[in-house]
Structure 1
């Protein structure tokens, strides 16, 4: 049901893309805080938490596709035992983008738990076909608030399969064959986005007080 592309950051220039909290209007809703460590569902602990900006944001699908990811629901990862690196997930519709911008402003304003760092946003299509102009315009607001946006389009295959049947991307995987189909391998664009995510995590993990980037290798 989805295809992935990435958008470069529009206007955030500093290395850690954090705005001055005094300049951020964070008057919207607040996400909960998860105090428990994130679960390890595969061979290795998760490297990134997928945080939904709203219900139905696709966190479980994204976390299934990307082996280094864990589904954190609609809560910030508050435990320092497991990763506090975050990808915010939202549907590519006006309500989804508004909720996503609220989560991003919340983080910029310093209202997320200490240690949380956002590495990007993943937007999943709300329907097949072209994106309406108002949605495209508000997507630019989200792009101004984060380092990178991965946009997931519509793939009919996901409608026909259980979550447990989906293929999984891991950092050591070779690029899938051009004609591969679920559940044999993740789609090629999902693979590319996963590879880009690993690059973003590598850069983030080089920051002060972070695990070394060698730990991303399985």
Structure 2
């Protein structure tokens, strides 16, 4: 079973989609900071860092699937030498969503490293089948804290594949054929989310502040 849905939040505070810090409740938990630049594992440096909201969030799988992404573990990318655009990853379960909301609140109140900008959240299924009602309700909390949420469904074949065997999405790839082996093509929901991610990164890189900065550069 696989599915992809993208949800827009009911409000945005500014061009960076950051809420006013005084309006955000945070438990005080903090993610680590990665001071080293992100590695380049493909032909080009990564465009976005995948930051896990918790252990087992699927960062390595998502970063493998999306060629323009790099696995940042559970740490914010603190080095300006490589991308500081972030997708927060979490499992679609109540503990995963709670941890994801904590990471998003941490960014909203300004506790992430300077330069970090969140472009969205990717939620990967914790099990096949229907999503329980409490999980759906808390997912709405996450949706209210970020610009976009991508949801990747359950894929049985993952349990029998090594990470290095998985196919990789690149922005120029055509839509994958239905029911392809994961070693031959990424799942359709991963492809759609990857395509939308590229658009989100382009919007982030050409946002009002960055555009104004470039125009003011002599």
When normalised by structure 1's length, the TM-score is 0.92
* Contact kept in structure 2, 1:3 and 1:187, CA below 8 Å: no
Cα distance, 1:129 vs. partner?
Answer: 1.0
- SS of match in other structure, 2:5: strand
Match of 1:75 in 2: 75
- Distance across 2 between alignment mates of 1:157 and 1:77: 31
Greater Cα shift, 92-101 or 170-179: 170-179
Greater Cα shift, 6-15 or 65-74: 6-15
Q: Does 1:85 align with 2:85?
A: yes
- Distance across 1 between alignment mates of 2:130 and 2:2: 14
Change (3 A) 1:210 1:69: farther
Greater Cα shift, 155-164 or 13-22: 13-22
Match of 2:216 in 1: none
Q: Does 1:18 align with 2:18?
A: yes
- SS of match in other structure, 1:4: coil
- Distance across 1 between alignment mates of 2:68 and 2:161: 21
Cα deviation per residue 1:72-119 (whole Å; 9 max; x = unaligned)? 000000000000000000111111111000000000000000000000
* Contact kept in structure 1, 2:2 and 2:154, CA below 8 Å: yes
Cα deviation per residue 1:149-190 (whole Å; 9 max; x = unaligned)? 011111101111001000000111122223433211111221
Change (3 A) 1:46 1:34: same
- Matches for 1:82-121 after TM superposition, within 5 Å: 82-121=82-121
* Contact kept in structure 1, 2:13 and 2:19, CA below 8 Å: no
Change (3 A) 1:113 1:208: farther
Cα distance, 1:210 vs. partner?
Answer: 5.2
Match of 2:128 in 1: 128
Once superposed, what is the RMSD of the aligned Cα atoms? 1.6
Runs of 4+ more than 4 Å apart? 208-211
Cα distance, 1:42 vs. partner?
Answer: 0.6
* Contact kept in structure 2, 1:92 and 1:126, CA below 8 Å: yes
Greater Cα shift, 123-132 or 29-38: 123-132
* Unaligned segments of structure 2, at least 5 residues: 212-218
> How many residue pairs were aligned?
211
